[in-house]
Structure 1
Amino acid sequence: MSDKKAQTRERILAAASAALLQRGPAEPSVGEVMGAAGLTVGGFYAHFDSKDALMLEVFQQMLSQRRELIAQLDPTLAGHARRELVAAFYLSRKHRDAHEQGCPLPSSVGELSRLPADFRAVLAEHVELMTAQLVSSPEEANQALADIALMVGGLALARALGPGELSDRVLRAAKLAIV
């Protein structure tokens, strides 16, 4: 792939990432993504087979980046202490208010049942890998799954409420519930 084509592809992926984070993988149109990338729709199919292919790649890429970020948070901690640290990071105002970066799950999980099965497979892999990052023994796996569900749901509700006292309370309550 030429440098120019690779750069154009990266612009499309960046625009699609922003759209997915704000509105999920189903709603943004090819025209919207290409416009945000400063490109015309006509060039889209030189880079991707379909909108679903683009959004699946972006979804997988964003989840991988989130796992890498989580892995960098004090890797010496394990078990409950690690889940508390991750919750403090994940359930923060900064993460709630991140419009350009952040976890795509709160804006995406409600749509996944209507998208191709590949999206659910990517989500399942992510949940399994995240669970492994948050446990120090196999016995903690169910608690880690519950904590992941609490974090995603808490962040989704806080983002839906927008910045404000109730949203802040949701974040604090979810952090306190991590066990």
Structure 2
Amino acid sequence: MTAETRERILSTATKMFLDKGLGTVGMRDIMAGASLTPGGFYRHFQSKDQLIALASGTAFDRAYAMLEGETTGKSPSEAIEIIVSVYLGQSQVADKPYLCPLAMIGAELRHSDPQVRAIAINGYQRIVQLIASRLENRTKRAALVTAGGILSTLVGAVTLAEIAPEPAIASAILSNAKALIRELVGRP
């Protein structure tokens, strides 16, 4: 029961942090969302920072697994197109099960403790490696540089689309990012 309760808290926290941000979600909110009393939090976690670290790691693992699964067996050009489309579409999906912490709470992560920032950088590096492995006709170094630029563009576009005041502006931001990445990887 304890492991199940811990997982329920972690799952609730991951979703709430990605949907609402780190600063606006308190322990009471998370425990209420998990249908638990606030006093039980410290039986499962040492601190909010520990929970943020675990939730961020969980979110990165989900995003990576989903991107990897969607692109396995695809041609390099198809894989890049899928990664870009899925990543840019994450802000428009109602349930949002695979949100990337870089785009959804990246600005807040810079204020987190070193462990949380290390998890974020590791998540970034894993996704860059995944993108680089799907690029063709490049040296390993060139693929990593291009992949880093692609992921930075994706993160920035989703972040800006999330704060856009109108859907048309958000759509234009996402479309521009997709067009830029297509040009970067040599696709019409």
TM-score where L is the length of structure 1: 0.88
State how far apart, in whole Å, the 2-side matches of 1:45 and 1:171 are: 41
Structure 2's unaligned 5+ residue stretches are 134-138
Contact 1:78 1:135 in 2 (8 A): no
Q: 1: distance between equivalents of 2:132 and 2:109? A: 26
Residue among 145, 150, 156 paired with 1:147: 150
Letter aligned with residue 118 of structure 2: A
Query: Could you say what secondary structure the match of 1:135 adopts?
Result: helix
- For the residues of structure 2 that align with 1:154 and 1:162, how far apart are their CA atoms? 14
Which residue of structure 2 lines up, in the alignment, with residue 161 of structure 1? 164
Instruction: Pick closer, same or farther for the CA change 1:162–1:57 going to 2, 3 Å.
Output: farther
Higher relative contact order (CA 8 A, sep 6+): 1
Q: What letter is aligned with 1:114? A: H
Counterpart of 1:75? 72
Q: Is the 8 A contact 2:49 2:116 kept in 1?
A: no
Q: What residue in structure 2 maps to residue 171 of structure 1? A: 174
Q: Which moved more, 1:95-104 or 1:124-133?
A: 95-104
Q: How many residues align?
A: 174
Q: CA RMSD in A?
A: 1.8
1 CA distance for matches of 2:3 and 2:165? 36
Q: Is the 8 A contact 1:31 1:41 kept in 2?
A: yes
User: Displacement of 1:100 after TM fit?
Assistant: 4.3
Superimposed CA distance per residue, residues 123-174 of structure 1 (whole angstroms, 9 cap, x where no aligned partner): 1111211111112441211110010010011011112226611111111111
Query: 5+ residue gaps in structure 1?
Result: none
Q: Which amino acid aligns with 1:161?
A: A
1:142, 1:79 → 2: CA distance? Answer: 16
1:86 to 1:76, Cα distance in 2 relative to 1, 3 A: same
The answer to whether the 8 Å contact 1:161/1:167 transfers is yes
Q: Percent identity?
A: 25
Give the structure 1 partner of residue 37 of structure 2: 40
CA distance 1:26–1:125, change in 2 (3 Å) = same
- Taking structure 2 as the reference length, the TM-score comes to 0.85
Report the residue type matching 1:96 in the other structure.
S
